[in-house]
Amino acid sequence: MLRDNFKFVLVLSFALGTAITGCNNKKSESEFREIVLPKNLEFIEIDKSQKFDKSWYDRKYKVVVFARHGDTHSPLKLDWQSAISEFEDIAFLFYVSEKDTAKLIRNLKQFSFTHPIIHDPSEEFRELNVKGKEWTFISYLVKDNEIVGMGNPSFPDFKEKLIELKDE
């Protein structure tokens, strides 16, 4: 009986240890890894004075955003413009997978979102980079094409994260 209890405790300890180790070894969405930027997609430029610059792909520092939709719950409604204006040496790339282009353009105008976006209706960016396939929005902080964190204007410390990105 004591021997059976010892075996039970040993097996339970092993199972619990394996479960804990397995959970701790899972990579987070923002863990250091290379980002892949599809470059063969169309651009949408709401404000014709603000053109997409292909050199943004090659910038050392980037904020890369994926948004599945451009609707009323879109992350494009956040105040991105102040960070874009303040951090000119950081490229802001927005991959938006809204399939209805007319709806997307209408909503971008409604949100007063004037930064060029990369239209990705087939979700190439998502397939290549987003681990949690249920995610409809994610924003990566990228240095030398490696994801080093996550951040967006809804984080109170977003601008501090951008400063840290350049100081790493």
Residue type at 124 in one-letter notation: E
The pLDDT value recorded for residue 135 is: 85
Give yes or no for a contact between 97 and 67, defined as CB atoms under 8 angstroms apart.
Answer: yes
Identify the residue with better confidence: 90 or 16: 90
Residue 56 within any structural domain of the chain: yes
Q: What is the mean pLDDT of residues 72-81?
A: 89
Residue 5 within any structural domain of the chain: no
Residue 7 within any structural domain of the chain: no
Identify the residue with better confidence: 131 or 104: 104
Residue 158 within any structural domain of the chain: yes
φ and ψ of 147, to 5 deg: -70, 120
> Is residue 15 over pLDDT 50?
no
The pLDDT value recorded for residue 47 is: 85
pLDDT digits 0-9 by tens, 145-161: 999 999 999 999 999 99
Print the domain residue range for 150. 29-167
- DSSP lists the bridge partners of residue 146 as 34, 143
Identify the residue with better confidence: 127 or 7: 127
The pLDDT value recorded for residue 59 is: 96
Bridge-based pairing of strands 137-143 and 61-67 is antiparallel
Look-up of token digits 């960016």: 125
Those residues whose C-beta lies under 8 Å from the C-beta of residue 13, and which sit 6 or more positions away, are none
> Is residue 100 over pLDDT 50?
yes
Closest CA to 123 of 93, 97, 105, 101: 97
Residue 67 within any structural domain of the chain: yes
Residue 15 within any structural domain of the chain: no
pLDDT class for 74, splitting at 50, 70, 90? confident
pLDDT class for 3, splitting at 50, 70, 90? low
The pLDDT value recorded for residue 31 is: 59
Residue 92 within any structural domain of the chain: yes
How many domains is the chain built from? Answer: 1
> Is residue 36 over pLDDT 70?
yes
Residue 4 within any structural domain of the chain: no
Tell me the two tokens of residue 14.
């092993």
Dist. CA 68–CA 82, nearest whole Å: 23
Domain at 146, CATH number: 3.40.30.10
